[in-house]
A and B are shown apart, each in its own frame.
Chain A
Amino acid sequence: MTVPAIDMNGVWFSYDRTPILEDVTLTLKQGDFLGIIGPNGGGKTTLLKLLLGVLKPDRGTIKILGEAPHDANHRVGYVPQNTDLNITFPISVMEVALMGRLSRSRIGKRYSRNDRTKVEESLKKTGIWNHRHSPIGRLSGGQRQRVFIARALATDPEILLLDEPTASVDPEFEMDLFDFLRELNKKVTIVAITHDVGVISRNVKSVACVNKSLIYHEEGQITAEMIDMAYQCPVDLIAHGIPHRVLPTHREK
C-alpha cells in the first residue's frame, strides 16, 4: 500500500482564538484529484496553508506523503490565491517562474540550464512564454495567474495545490487549465479550490466542502449535506445546472 498523499487527522486551527477549522480529518490517496468548495471565509485557504506547513495546527496531525508538511516542501507545488502582491516589484515573468526551481539544497547556486528548460516548458504550457521578459506588474490579473501556475509546475511537484486558480482568468483558459490538470493528474495528485462547481463536476475525482469543518466525498459528488453546509456558495451550482453524476437525487445523511 502506498502512503496517502494527504493525511489529516483531527486537525484544529484558530487565528487568535477564533476557530477557523474544527476537527478536520481527510485522507487523500495519491493520484486523486480533489476539488474543494465552500463559502468565502470558510477556511479553504487556511487548509492549504496547513498542508504547506505555513501554518501549524493547534491540535491534530498532518502528513504529506508520509512526511511532516514542511519537510515535504520540494514535493509540493502551490498556486496562491492572491497574485497581486508586490505589484511594483522589479521582477520579470521569467524570474517569478524560476522561483519554482528554488530549493533548500541548492541555496547560493545559480539557476541551471535544466532549471531554465523546465521553466520554459511550464511557461509555454500556460501560454505566457511570449511575455517572459515583461515586468510582472504589467500583466493583467489573468496573465499573472498563468505565471503563478507555471511557477508551481516548474517545481515538478508530486502534489499540486491550487487556490482558486481561475478566479481572474478568462473562461477559455479555465477550460484549457482543467483539461491540462486532468492530463497532469495521471502523474500528479491535485487539490484545487474553486468556486466553479461546473468545473468540479466535469473534472475532479473527489469533492470536499470546507466551512469550519470538512465534508469529503470520495466519488466526487456534491452531497446535499455539503450544500446545506456551504449555503452561500452554490450560486454557481444552480447557475451551471449540475450534471447528474455530481448531484445525487437522494439526500444522504
Chain B
Amino acid sequence: MWEALQFDFMRNALLAGVLVSISCGIIGSLVVVNRIVFISGGIAHAAFGGIGLAFFLGFSPSLGAALFAVGVSIIMGAVSFKSKHRADTIIGVLWAIGMALGIILIDLTPGYHVDLMSYLFGSILTVPGSDIWIIILLNLGILLTVIIFYKEFIAMSYDEEFAFIVGIPVKPLYFVLLGMTALAVVMTIQVVGLILIIALLTIPPYIAEKYTKSLGGMMTLSSILGIFFTLGGLWLSYSYDLTSGATIILVAGVGFFIFQAVGLLKGRGGITR
C-alpha cells in the first residue's frame, strides 16, 4: 500500500475517499434523521440519466450527473415536502426513468463504448486531479452551510412542525438539504458508484446514531467511520485486485454488522431503532 502512494492516482484516490467520506458523513446523518434515504437513492439513480445525456451531447458526465441530480432533487422535494411517506411512488418512478433514460441515451450515442461499470460501481482509482479541486470546493460548501444553519437543521430534523411555528423557513431549508444531497451524490458516484451510494450515505450514520448524543457528534463519527471504511476498502481492493466501490461497501457492511453485534451484546438494541 505505502509504495502505491508514490503514484498520483493513488494519492488522488485517498484524498477523494477522505473528502467524500466527510460529505457522506455530514449529509448522510441528515438523510438518516430526516428519513429521506429513499429520496437520496432516487437522486443517485436518476443522476444516471444526466450521465447518459452528457455522453449523447458530448459534455462532461460529472456535469450531466450534477444537473440531473439537482433537478431531480428539486422535483422530489416538491412532491415529498407535504407528505414524505406518500411520495414513494413518484420517487420510485423517477429513479427508474432516470436509469433507463441514461442507458438509452448511451445506446444512441454513436460509436462510443462507455464503461458503464465505472459509473455504477465507481472508479476511485481514476479520479483526475482536477476533480479533486471540485470535490474540495463542494465539501467546503456543504460544511459551511451545515455549520451556519446547524441549529435550524437540528430543529427541522427533530421537530419540523415546531421549527415552522417559531418561524424557521423549513421548506427552503428542506430544499437546501436535498440540493446538498444531490451534490454529495455526484461526488460519491466517482468513489463507490451510484448503485452503492446509499450504503455509504447510511451505514456510517446508522452506526454513529447509537453512540452519539448530538447531531454534530453523529456527523463527526459518521465521517470518521466513513474514512475508515473507504480507506480500508481501497487498501483491500488494491491488494487483492477487487472492484474498489464494492469492496468499500462490503467493508462498511462488515462494520455495520460488527457494531450491531456489539450493540446487541451490550443491550443497546439491534437493527430496529
Binding site for B on A (CB under 8 A): 52-54, 70, 73-74, 76, 78, 80, 85-86, 88-92, 95-96, 98-100, 102-105, 107-108, 110-111, 133, 135, 151, 155
Q: Are B155 and A80 in contact (CB under 8 A)?
A: no
* Contact A99/B148 with A86-B33, A104-B169 known, Cβ cut-off 8 Å: no
Q: Across the interface, which residues of A come within 8 angstroms of B163, CB to CB?
A: 99, 102
Q: Are A99 and B273 in contact (CB under 8 A)?
A: no
* Contact A107/B152 with A54-B165, A73-B166, A102-B167 known, Cβ cut-off 8 Å: yes
Given A89-B33, A105-B167, 13 extra CB contacts under 8 A: A70-B167, A73-B165, A80-B161, A89-B157, A90-B214, A91-B215, A92-B214, A99-B162, A100-B166, A103-B167, A104-B168, A107-B152, A155-B166
Q: Which B130-179 residues have C-beta < 8 A from chain A?
A: 148-149, 151-152, 154-155, 157-159, 161-169
Q: Are B214 and A91 in contact (CB under 8 A)?
A: yes
Partner of A99, one of B166, B169, B217: B166
B218 on the interface (CB 8 Å rule)?
yes
Q: Are A102 and B212 in contact (CB under 8 A)?
A: no
Q: Across the interface, which residues of B come within 8 angstroms of A107, CB to CB?
A: 149, 152, 168-169
Q: Are A111 and B151 in contact (CB under 8 A)?
A: yes
| Secondary structure of the B contact surface, majority rule | helix
Q: How far is the CB of A32 from chain B (nearest CB, A)?
A: 21
Q: Across the interface, which residues of B come within 8 angstroms of A108, CB to CB?
A: 148-149, 152
* Contact A95/B165 with A90-B218, A135-B213 known, Cβ cut-off 8 Å: no
Q: Across the interface, which residues of A come within 8 angstroms of B149, CB to CB?
A: 107-108
Q: Across the interface, which residues of A come within 8 angstroms of B214, CB to CB?
A: 90-92, 95
* Contact A90/B167 with A80-B161, A102-B151, A111-B151 known, Cβ cut-off 8 Å: no
Q: How many residues of B contact A (CB 8 A)?
A: 27
Q: How far is the CB of B208 from chain A (nearest CB, A)?
A: 8
A selection of 20 A-B contacts at a CB cut-off of 8 Å is A54-B165, A78-B162, A80-B161, A89-B33, A89-B158, A90-B217, A90-B218, A91-B214, A92-B214, A96-B159, A102-B167, A102-B168, A103-B167, A104-B166, A104-B168, A107-B168, A107-B169, A135-B213, A151-B162, A155-B166
- Please give me the residue from chain A that is nearest to B164 by CB atom: A54
Q: Across the interface, which residues of B come within 8 angstroms of A133, CB to CB?
A: 213
- Please give me the residue from chain B that is nearest to A89 by CB atom: B158
Partner of B165, one of A76, A89, A110: A76
Q: Across the interface, which residues of B come within 8 angstroms of A54, CB to CB?
A: 161, 164-165
Q: Across the interface, which residues of A come within 8 angstroms of B158, CB to CB?
A: 86, 89, 91, 96, 99
Q: How far is the CB of B64 from chain A (nearest CB, A)?
A: 33
- Best-surrounded residue of A86, A99, A155 (most CB of chain B within 10 A): A99
Q: Across the interface, which residues of B come within 8 angstroms of A74, CB to CB?
A: 166-167
Q: Across the interface, which residues of A come within 8 angstroms of B166, CB to CB?
A: 73-74, 99-100, 102-104, 155
- Please give me the residue from chain A that is nearest to B149 by CB atom: A108
Q: Are A78 and B168 in contact (CB under 8 A)?
A: no
Q: Are A88 and B167 in contact (CB under 8 A)?
A: no
CA distance A151 to B166 in the complex (A): 11
Q: Across the interface, which residues of B come within 8 angstroms of A80, CB to CB?
A: 159, 161-162
* Contact A102/B164 with A90-B218, A91-B158 known, Cβ cut-off 8 Å: no
Q: How far is the CB of A72 from chain B (nearest CB, A)?
A: 10
CA distance A221 to B69 in the complex (A): 59
CA distance A74 to B164 in the complex (A): 11
Q: Across the interface, which residues of A come within 8 angstroms of B151, CB to CB?
A: 98-99, 102, 110-111
- Please give me the residue from chain A that is nearest to B166 by CB atom: A102
Q: How far is the CB of B245 from chain A (nearest CB, A)?
A: 29
* Contact A91/B154 with A80-B161, A85-B159 known, Cβ cut-off 8 Å: yes
Q: Across the interface, which residues of B come within 8 angstroms of A102, CB to CB?
A: 151-152, 155, 163, 166-168
- Best-surrounded residue of B168, B213, B218 (most CB of chain A within 10 A): B213
- Best-surrounded residue of B159, B161, B164, B212 (most CB of chain A within 10 A): B159
CA distance A155 to B162 in the complex (A): 11
Q: Across the interface, which residues of A come within 8 angstroms of B155, CB to CB?
A: 99, 102
Q: Across the interface, which residues of A come within 8 angstroms of B217, CB to CB?
A: 90
Q: Across the interface, which residues of B come within 8 angstroms of A73, CB to CB?
A: 165-167
Q: Are B159 and A86 in contact (CB under 8 A)?
A: yes
Q: How far is the CB of A64 from chain B (nearest CB, A)?
A: 12
CA distance A88 to B214 in the complex (A): 11
Q: How far is the CB of B264 from chain A (nearest CB, A)?
A: 16
- Please give me the residue from chain A that is nearest to B157 by CB atom: A89
CA distance A107 to B166 in the complex (A): 11
Q: Across the interface, which residues of B come within 8 angstroms of A52, CB to CB?
A: 165
Q: Across the interface, which residues of B come within 8 angstroms of A99, CB to CB?
A: 151, 154-155, 158-159, 162-163, 166
Q: Which B225-273 residues have C-beta < 8 A from chain A?
A: 273
Q: How far is the CB of B229 from chain A (nearest CB, A)?
A: 20
- Please give me the residue from chain A that is nearest to B217 by CB atom: A90
Q: How far is the CB of B224 from chain A (nearest CB, A)?
A: 15
